[in-house]
Amino acid sequence: AQSVTQLGSHVSVSEGALVLLRCNYSSSVPPYLFWYVQYPNQGLQLLLKYTTGATLVKGINGFEAEFKKSETSFHLTKPSAHMSDAAEYFCAGGPNNAGNMLTFGGGTRLMVKP
Amino acid sequence: GAVVSQHPSRVICKSGTSVKIECRSLDFQATTMFWYRQFPKQSLMLMATSNEGSKATYEQGVEKDKFLINHASLTLSTLTVTSAHPEDSSFYICSVSTGRNEQFFGPGTRLTVL
């Protein structure tokens, strides 16, 4: 069975500071991994994904994530936080057998202080 | 990607009534859609997988007779909450699977049962 864990339900950073949101997965084989962002009362928007190939993945809005098999991690980073980055972030994993199911982490609320 | 819409965006109903939520894939022929529910400040919980032309596959603990799913066309899946009760109040989100290890999400429907 696959699980996705996000460490820290709330993360607070100052505007301009580094953003680091942690995600670890547990599965017998490396899954496909995704980061989504959710603004209040809205659906989820895909930030970036890892399937195969390059382990450092760049997404929208300046975010990137690195797949580290040895650490079973897929942490999300952004060099400089912006006020508009304040939102809920979800890490999700799906089996790499071209299946469609996704398992979501518990989510991390990012707060950005001026 | 795929553009997904949901209707209505918000609905308030009395206890005991039934509510239908529509999920439309506007630019993609979706053979598979997913229905999630999200309680406040929590992650998404998969309710069911909706397959065009066949019965939905429900997750453990989800009452199939209470949450009726119909996926009659490649662009429309509906979720009907039958005999709704206050505990069914939640944010319901659908997604479209493009079969390329990605899901694209609708904007969600906020259901409030009085």
Question: Is the CB of B28 inside 8 Å of chain A's CB atoms?
Answer: no
Under an 8 A CB cutoff, do A100 and B107 touch?
no
The 10s digit of each residue's pLDDT in B85-113 is 999 999 999 999 887 678 899 999 999 99
Taking the alpha carbons at both ends of chain A, their separation in whole angstroms is 41
Question: In terms of pLDDT, which residue wins out, B99 or A67?
Answer: A67
- Cα A90 to Cα A43: distance, rounded to the nearest angstrom: 11
* Lowest-confidence pick of A7-21, B42-56, B75-89: B42-56
Supply the pLDDT for residue A99: 53
Question: Is the CB of B32 inside 8 Å of chain A's CB atoms?
Answer: yes
CB of B106 closer than 8 Å to CB of B5: yes
Supply the pLDDT for residue A62: 96
- Cα B35 to Cα B58: distance, rounded to the nearest angstrom: 10
Spell out which residues of chain B touch residue A110, defining contact as CB-CB under 8 Å: none
When the pLDDT of each residue in chain A is averaged and rounded to a whole number, the result is 90
pLDDT at residue A85 tops 60: yes
- Cα B99 to Cα B52: distance, rounded to the nearest angstrom: 14
- Find the CB nearest B43 among A41, A96, A107: A107
Under an 8 A CB cutoff, do B102 and A34 touch?
yes
Q: How far is CA A100 from CA A32, A73, B2, B8, B42, in A?
A: 10, 21, 15, 26, 22
